């Protein structure tokens, strides 16, 4: 039986492969993703670009979900539409719009609990 000579495997320099699309993106003015480098200040773990950082001075953690209470209320359809439209315009949740209104009426709501969109944090923070 004769053996067929196969060419040896040639390694690929991954950095060079990655540089080509990046160079084209820069050339065409296409924005690119940047991976955040961990810093000493960021002791809570890695952050993601879609999670909005807490405001300066907010050292308190949000209230744990186990201590949150559900509020069921009925509102007229035109009020519901207005609330949903405000949430869409502000790019927040309906919950945030309602909690902002409660805060404006003098109900104490801590800044740490004013999460604009809880879906963004559920997967990344264990509360």
State pLDDT tens for residues 20-31: 777 777 888 777
Q: State the pLDDT confidence band at 85, using cuts at 50, 70 and 90.
A: very high
Residue 104 clears pLDDT 90, i.e. is over it: yes
Q: Which residue shows structure tokens 């961990």?
A: 38
Q: State the pLDDT confidence band at 39, using cuts at 50, 70 and 90.
A: low
Residues of the chain with pLDDT > 90: what percent?
22
Contact present, 90 and 117 (Cβ < 8 Å): no
Question: For the residues 47-68, what does the mean pLDDT come to?
Answer: 63
Q: What is the pLDDT of residue 38?
A: 62
DSSP type of residue 54: P
Q: What is the pLDDT of residue 97?
A: 92
d(CA 109, CA 117): 16
What does pTM read for this prediction? 0.46
């Amino acid at each position: 039986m004769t053996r067929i000579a196969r060419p040896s495997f040639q390694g690929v320099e991954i950095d060079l492969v990655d540089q080509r699309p990046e160079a084209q993106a820069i050339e065409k003015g296409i924005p690119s993703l940047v991976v955040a480098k961990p810093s000493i200040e960021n002791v809570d773990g890695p952050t993601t670009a879609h999670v909005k950082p807490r405001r300066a001075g907010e050292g308190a953690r949000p209230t744990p979900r186990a201590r949150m209470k559900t509020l069921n209320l009925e509102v007229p359809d035109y009020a519901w539409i207005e609330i949903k439209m405000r949430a869409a315009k502000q790019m927040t949740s309906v919950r945030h719009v309602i909690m902002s209104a409660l805060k404006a009426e003098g109900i104490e709501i801590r800044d740490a609990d004013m999460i604009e969109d809880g879906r963004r944090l559920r997967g990344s923070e264990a509360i």
